[in-house]
Structure 1
Amino acid sequence: MATNVFFAAGAKLWPEYREAIQAACAKKGLSISLSDAAPDPAAVDYIVYAPTAALSDFTPFTRCKAVLSLWAGVERIAPNPTLTQPLCRMVDSGLTEGMVEWVTGHVLRHHLGMDAHITGQDGIWRHDSKPPLARDRRVTILGLGELGTACAKALSALNFPVTGWSRTQKHIDGIACLSGDEGLEEALARADILVTLLPRTTATENLMSAERFALMPRGSFLINPGRGQLIDDDALLAALGSGRIAHATLDVFRVEPLPPDHPFWAHPGVTVTPHLAADTRTATAAEVIVENIRRGETGEPLLYLVNRDLGY
């Protein structure tokens, strides 16, 4: 019996993923029937999914062994009551590398004060200040999942003292790992530069409130490539106005695209980037999808299985 894979991630992505998934199958010697057409739901073994697709009712897919998401975040699919099949989120090397590069670039940008020289090409020789060395600039990362851990290790390798915070205690060589409410307060107090890489859950909604911003050192920097809902927008604007936060670089927002009249656009202390810190890379994502299909067919544990109770 053929292994039937339904690509329910949208027509725009279908041509590139059809080719990439077939190439990944060929590498593994895996034979599948792959289609983006509306199939007989009872004959589907796996669903390749993106939350922007039209599919929302998973009830008819009674034979489906797993829903394989192309997105790292699962907050738009995990709560779906019709989704009773195992759900796997996307963790792929290309996405992780992209996030590490984006985070490292913006950490270095703020650490070195690059903006003053990039935008100040006005004939003035600005040699009145110099940045500290990386070893004297503390970085805190909220969230020590795949992406947060990779970013923490990369920044530590550049000699930044890195503190990581997560809901449950982690142990990562070279990283000061904290957890719990008291650990969060300590992590924020150490954050000369704060990187937020937590998933969106009920526990992380508005995590960065006025009270939490007040715990950070005056003149610190915020970098958010995680989820827009982690940040209380009004609290951030107030923290920027008071000088508590010197600058915020934001890649994710509550509403995307960010509306043209949102105050972030015009604020001199905010950099807006268009949710590009960690786009899924087709070739590497296809390899993850195919590996999970192979595992499902051979009875091995699926990779990156979502814990529905935790929401990620």
Structure 2
Amino acid sequence: MTRIYFAAGARRWADYSTHLPAALAEAGVQAEIVTKAPDPATVDYIVFAPGGDITDFTPFTRARAVLGLWAGVERIVGNRTLTQPLCRMVDQGLTEGMVEWVTGHVLRHHLNLDRWIRGEPGWHQDAPPLARERTVAMLGLGELGAACARTLAGLNFRVLGWSRAPKTLPGIETAHGEAGLQQVLSRAGIVVTLLPATPETENLLDARRLGWLPPGAVVLNPGRGCLIDEAALLAALDAGRLGHATLDVFRTEPLPEDHPFRGHRRVTITPHIAAETRPYSAARVIAENIRRGEAGEPFLHLVDRTRGY
């Protein structure tokens, strides 16, 4: 019988204890799930999340794959003891959550809803532009970025997509590389960052690139905290060059109480909730990969160690 070590921590097991066995049964996988440190030589698959129960993967010589519960892998991909295939979480529920967060905040800033929520005095009947008159830049065209771009384009926003390497997305104008990034940012009223954390994306939005944005542009970051140079972002906001920043991820989490983002009139903070893994749907992704492993089929969502995601 296949042996699965759920090494993502006791708190997460409380969420998965019903869903994962049910998903395995639905996938036709006969398996034993253990949650306490087993004999490593008996483990076929490891279900893992950062902060879980393993830091050294060396003893797990029989394990066919490490199956992550997070979309991001930057906290594990550099672990030199992890030589087994690593699969990241790509889950429809997670994707839907990200699309809803991004769409909600794009519409909020597009319609200038904060003005009315704050209850500005007076009777101002200047209507916002239509979506087809607003350009949104989507930095990152992976699973999440592509889904958000398609949804926003479906609402008639002019969506520009950017990625580090050439990509095409039907109905979306795309660009790549440094020159493409400048072209995209210089046209964007709203920019969304949905890229993985890698050495190449560290401080992608620095002072120089933030300066490419039109005056009053809005930045949304539900991707990774390291994508933005925080000091440069604060300087642009304080100078009034940027209109607002809505941020879901940060270099330090939880965000310290004395951080300059807190209480800043041009910054909105959400506590890393844009795309949460839902145990019900994530368990099915894990079960499908185990079924594939047992059937000798390729794993889904394998991490490319050279690229870091």
Q: TM-score, normalised by structure 1?
A: 0.98
Unaligned runs of 5+ in 1: none
Residue 105 of structure 2 corresponds to residue 106 of structure 1: yes
Counterparts of 1:74-223 in structure 2 under 5 Å?
74-120=73-119, 124-223=121-220
Secondary structure of 2:17 counterpart: helix
- Deviations for 1:94-142, whole angstroms, at most 9, x for unmatched residues? 000000000000000000000011121x6x3432422100000000010
**How far apart, CA to CA, are the structure 1 residues paired with 2:231 and 2:127?**
32
**How far apart, CA to CA, are the structure 1 residues paired with 2:123 and 2:131?**
21
CA-CA distance at 1:54 after TM superposition: 3.0
Secondary structure of 1:12 counterpart: helix
2:304 to 300, 303, 307: 307
Counterparts of 1:27-106 in structure 2 under 5 Å?
27-106=26-105
**How far apart, CA to CA, are the structure 2 residues paired with 1:243 and 1:126?**
25
Match of 1:239 in 2: 236
**How far apart, CA to CA, are the structure 2 residues paired with 1:166 and 1:272?**
25
1:291 to 288, 291, 301: 288
- Deviations for 1:196-224, whole angstroms, at most 9, x for unmatched residues? 00010000111110000000011000000
Secondary structure of 1:13 counterpart: helix
Letter in 1 for 2:150: K
Moved over 6 A (4+): none
Q: How many percent identity over aligned positions?
A: 61
**How far apart, CA to CA, are the structure 2 residues paired with 1:138 and 1:158?**
12
Whether contact under 8 Å (1:168, 1:179) holds in the other structure is: yes
Letter in 2 for 1:202: P
Whether contact under 8 Å (1:206, 1:230) holds in the other structure is: yes
- Deviations for 1:42-100, whole angstroms, at most 9, x for unmatched residues? 11000000011131000000000000000000000000000000000000000000000
Whether contact under 8 Å (2:28, 2:291) holds in the other structure is: no
- Deviations for 1:137-168, whole angstroms, at most 9, x for unmatched residues? 00001000000000000000000010111111
Q: 1:3 to 1:226 in 2, by over 3 A?
A: same
Match of 1:18 in 2: 17
- Deviations for 1:213-268, whole angstroms, at most 9, x for unmatched residues? 00001100000000011111110011112222100000000000000000100210
Whether contact under 8 Å (1:140, 1:191) holds in the other structure is: yes
Letter in 2 for 1:30: V
Unaligned runs of 5+ in 2: none
**How far apart, CA to CA, are the structure 1 residues paired with 2:113 and 2:66?**
43
Letter in 1 for 2:115: A
Whether contact under 8 Å (1:87, 1:306) holds in the other structure is: yes
Match of 2:246 in 1: 249
Letter in 2 for 1:20: H
Whether contact under 8 Å (1:139, 1:161) holds in the other structure is: yes
Whether contact under 8 Å (2:45, 2:64) holds in the other structure is: yes
CA-CA distance at 1:16 after TM superposition: 2.1
Letter in 1 for 2:28: G
- Deviations for 1:167-206, whole angstroms, at most 9, x for unmatched residues? 1111111111111111111111121100000010000111
Letter in 2 for 1:298: A
**How far apart, CA to CA, are the structure 2 residues paired with 1:29 and 1:126?**
63
Letter in 2 for 1:302: F
**How far apart, CA to CA, are the structure 2 residues paired with 1:240 and 1:193?**
14
Q: TM-score, normalised by structure 2?
A: 0.99
**How far apart, CA to CA, are the structure 1 residues paired with 2:35 and 2:123?**
57
Letter in 1 for 2:66: V
Letter in 2 for 1:151: C
Letter in 1 for 2:284: E
Secondary structure of 2:156 counterpart: coil
